[in-house]
Homo-oligomer: A and B are copies of this chain.
Amino acid sequence: MSPINLSIDCVILGFDNDQKLKVLLIKKIINEKNDYQYALPGDLVKIDEDLLTGAKRILKSLTSLDNIYLKQFYTFGNPNRTKEKKDQSWLRLYRKKPEERVVTVGYIALVNMEEYVPQASSFAFEAEWVEVNKLSQDLAFDHNHILSSGIEYLREQIDHKLISNLLPSKFTLSQLQNLYEILLDEKLDKRNFRKNISKIDVIKKTNEKQEGVAHKPAFLYTYDKVFKEN
């Protein structure tokens, strides 16, 4: 039985105040003419590394993002997922055995685009935020499918560990509501939203307020320290 390669692909979703959900993609050179292809940051797992450790290493090596909370969401094992013509060129350049099957484990994270600024390295010659809604249907391998599975996973049950990673350490309730609205893709009522948030005991109000805004400054909130550390 010949070997199956194992890789990890990271769905990194970014958010800033422009109301658009973005995904972090890398550009990969696929031939000597410097043609490129967009892909999720991903690579092979090392022989002795835990999957989560691998996910963090790969993400850092391709985009320099570090200290990100990543969560496994699904494993993609279609035997033909790397066999399409569009993908062979890159595989032949970078993989010792480009014809071999690759099963990939999907990890997801949310990050604050202002706090985490990606810098391409390794075989990524660029790392770029792309608006999810404007995404063309031609990512590498089955990455369009992996991306939509990741987003779907996220919407199914909002995960405060993921969210707390995205937000700055102190944030306003409007920022949080904004994020929910983008993730859920629906408008929420401000008063009801605040009632609900007040029931979440890992979110705490601080005494601090926004500064330098041309309106009534909002109180800042934070995720419980213990919660963030686990």
Contacts and interface: CB of A to CB of B under 8 A. Distances in A.
B47 A1 contact: yes
Nearest to A106: B75
Interface string A1-32: 11111100000000000000000000000000
Contacts of A3: 3-5, 47
A105 B79 contact: no
Given A51-B103, A103-B51, A45 B75 contact: no
Interface in A94-133: 101, 103, 105
Number of copies: 2
A51 B54 CA distance: 21
Contacts of A5: 3-4
Contacts of A51: 75, 77, 103
Contact of A105 (B1, B49, B77, B78): B77
A197 B110 CA distance: 36
A72 interface: yes
B47 A101 contact: yes
Interface in A136-188: none
A165 to B, nearest CB: 21
Contacts of A74: 72
A46 interface: yes
A91 interface: no
Interface in A34-78: 44-51, 54, 72, 74-75, 77-78
Contacts of A78: 50
Given A47-B101, A54-B77, A72-B75, 12 more contacts: A1-B46, A1-B47, A4-B4, A6-B6, A6-B77, A6-B103, A45-B77, A45-B103, A51-B77, A51-B103, A75-B75, A77-B105
List of 9 A-B pairs having minimum Cβ-Cβ separation, nearest first = A3-B3, A51-B77, A75-B75, A4-B6, A48-B79, A2-B47, A75-B105, A1-B47, A6-B103
